[in-house]
Amino acid sequence: MSITSSPAGALSGLDPMMAMTVLLIIVPSYVNLVAISLASPLTVRVVLAAGPVLIFFWEMVEGRLAASPYSFLAAVSYALTTLFAVVARKRAVRN
């Protein structure tokens, strides 16, 4: 019998699907939640609002989907509306 010191040896008793779940879903979700808890609410809202625009641009770069001006307009208007709402709320809280 050989004793392994690799991280894969520690996970050998787990089902491979469970190991993939832990490594690819649970760990990134935990890191994301920690990062959100450390960021300011304004930063979190801006990043979440920019998500659809970034996804639209990634779809254009990838090339499998045709760019739709209506999708782009919807994503940009969503992001801008969120940004304006965040700025207005920030100003209202200061006053």
Give 49-68 pLDDT, tens digit per residue: 888 888 888 888 888 878 78
Look at the chain and report how many structural domains it folds into. Answer: 1
Backbone angles phi, psi at 55, to 5 degrees: -65, -40
User: Is residue 21 a part of any domain in this protein?
Assistant: yes
Question: What range does the domain containing 31 cover?
Answer: 14-94
pTM of structure: 0.48
**Those residues with Cβ within 8 angstroms of residue 53's Cβ, 6 or more apart along the chain or in another chain:** 72, 75, 76, 79
Structural domain contains residue 42: yes
Query: In a structure prediction context, what are the per-residue pLDDT tens digits for the chain, which is 95 residues long?
Result: 455 555 555 555 668 888 888 888 889 899 988 988 898 887 888 788 888 888 888 888 888 878 788 888 888 898 888 888 888 888 888 87
